[in-house]
Amino acid sequence: MRVVGLVILGLLVLVAVWAGAGINAIPTKEEGASAAWAQVLNQYQRRADLVPNLVATVKGAADFEKSTLEAVVQARAKVGTMQIPGDVLTNPEAMRAFEANQGSLTSALSRLMVVVEQYPQLRATESFQTLQAQLEGTENRIAVARRDFIEAVRDYNTELKTFPGLIWKALLYPDRQPMQQLEVEPAKMDVPSVDFGTTGN
């Protein structure tokens, strides 16, 4: 009888230790997702900061398509004035609005780069080549930041829905909500189409 009691006690201790090890999993994963989101915002801001110099450089090309430049300027302005609410990570409408604005800038930049192909002299200038390299690098960083955020949110949301996380959520973190996931952009950042030539033909 004593042996059975010790076995049961041992099992209870093991269960308590195992469950207790996950007591901080929800806030830890939440912080990880928030940090990944901050990196997404940082990389998008980096891209937005490149746009004025890019527009100024392209504007110097003779007969450059005015409508294409205006689309980039307007999309950049929309991104610059966008108010991101504090609950964006759990607010579907706010996340959709964020994605839509960033997607518009992505589309406008992609169109701009396609048009630039028609201006070999512009593409050959050192200032434009530098901006091209910076933009391409930033687009790649955005893709990595988005991927890391998607994974962090998946990890956090899974913790909320699976054992023992769902128990800890009910007991200690009832206010925690699943986070919104980034979608694949409709205009997907066409980094390959921003395949800049460095010399004219």
**Measured distance CA(93)–CA(113) in Å, rounded:** 30
Is pLDDT of 143 > 50?
yes
Is pLDDT of 21 > 80?
no
What are the domain boundaries of the chain?
Answer: 38-201
First-residue to last-residue Cα distance in the chain: 90
pLDDT of residue 9: 65
Categorize the per-residue pLDDT at 16 as very low, low, confident or very high, splitting at 50, 70 and 90: low
Categorize the per-residue pLDDT at 144 as very low, low, confident or very high, splitting at 50, 70 and 90: very high
Is pLDDT of 188 > 60?
no
Q: Check if the beta carbon of residue 102 is closer than 8 Å to that of residue 171.
A: no
pLDDT of residue 125: 92
Identify the H or E element spanning 22.
Answer: none
Is pLDDT of 5 > 60?
yes
Q: Which of 190, 63, 194 is nearest to 128 (CA)?
A: 194
Q: pLDDT for 57-89, tens place per residue?
A: 998 887 888 899 999 999 999 999 999 999 999
**Measured distance CA(84)–CA(50) in Å, rounded:** 20
Q: Check if the beta carbon of residue 107 is closer than 8 Å to that of residue 75.
A: yes
Task: Give the mean pLDDT of 77-105.
Answer: 96
* CATH superfamily for domain 38-201: LemA-like domain (1.20.1440.20)
**Measured distance CA(188)–CA(34) in Å, rounded:** 23
Q: Which of 88, 48, 176 is nearest to 168 (CA)?
A: 176
Distances (CA, A) of 115 to 14, 46, 111, 119: 65, 23, 6, 8
